[in-house]
Amino acid sequence: MWFRNLQLYRLPAPWDITIDRLADQLGRLSFQPCGSQDPMSRGFTAPVQDGGLVHSVGGQWMIALTVEQRLLPSSVVNETAEERAEEIEAQQGYKPGRKQIKEIKDAVMQELLPRAFTRRRRTYVWIDPKGGWLAIDASSRKGADVVIEALGKALDELPIKLLNTRLSPAGAMTQWLAEGDAPGAFTIDQDCELASVTDEKSAVRYVRHTLEGGEIREHIASGKQVTRLAMTFDDRVSLVLNDKFEIKRLQVLDVVKEAAGAPDAISRDEQFDADFALMTGELQRVIPALIDALGGEEKTI
């Protein structure tokens, strides 16, 4: 199981909750499909087929939030409501007022919603209860907030905090690029984005382009800061870090997967567990190293 993104949060280390208690509390908000009049439904589901709400491999936990949404475009509702309004106008001899228009739209929604297609989306969450990490495989904070909100409703207590580092990611990445070298076991790859800190908000993006030389330094000298930077850790994990401390395009490199190996005959569940164990093992090295590169963790009271 490979995460593509990391929205990272701090938990107490260790987090004083048992796997059984966590599963019981998540069960308070277990997933139920949308009813005929429900535009959306969300709840926790088993990360693996026929498993429990909390899947554990080597002391690392995974949970999953499933969101089901009915696909009913507003354009369809508005078009149908306009047709109904025209029919009512012909019958009563004058255009419906605002209140009546709203009632027409509500009636159209109730009529069309049960016939709308549904779409399900599952978001996975990695929990390291000993190390005190909670990471959500979401491309934005907005997507992660959906999971955090659901966790807040299900659990008796959710003691998480946003991760803060002593150095700002933008300032640190700008320095690394200006010096042409990343700290520790990190190396700079060939993708980056620089943005102006002025009101103009001008930006320049490099994709599969060498980031060495005077051109990059000229952008930095003109006042631009690095907002996205592709890097590789220890020749094992590649990622893109942005100025909000969001990790994107996370990938455990093939050389690591090949070194780990796998039996010729392996079930789907066994492969899932092997991938999850490999991923979390690498992340337990990458995350502390990245925090160290950013000056360490800023403790909050």
Domain boundary assignment for the chain:
7-68+119-162, 74-114, 169-293
Mean pLDDT in residue range 255-261 = 68
Assign 260 a pLDDT band (cuts: 50, 70, 90).
Answer: low
Nearest alpha-carbon partner for 176 in 133, 146, 220: 220
Q: Is the pLDDT of residue 12 over 60?
A: yes
Reported as a pLDDT band with limits 50, 70 and 90, residue 301 is low
User: Is the separation of the CB atoms in 60 and 91 below 8 Å?
Assistant: no
pLDDT per residue as tens digits for the range 157-185: 999 999 899 999 999 999 999 888 899 99
The pLDDT value given to residue 199? 64
Evaluate the CA torsion angle 275, 280, 285, 288 in order and state its sign. Answer: positive
Amino acid at 267: S
Q: What is the dihedral of CA 228, 233, 239, 240, to 10 degrees?
A: 0
Q: What are the pLDDT digits (tens) for 50-103?
A: 889 999 999 999 999 999 988 777 887 788 878 888 888 788 888 888 888 888
* Orientation angle between helical segments 98-112 and 74-92, nearest 10 degrees: 130
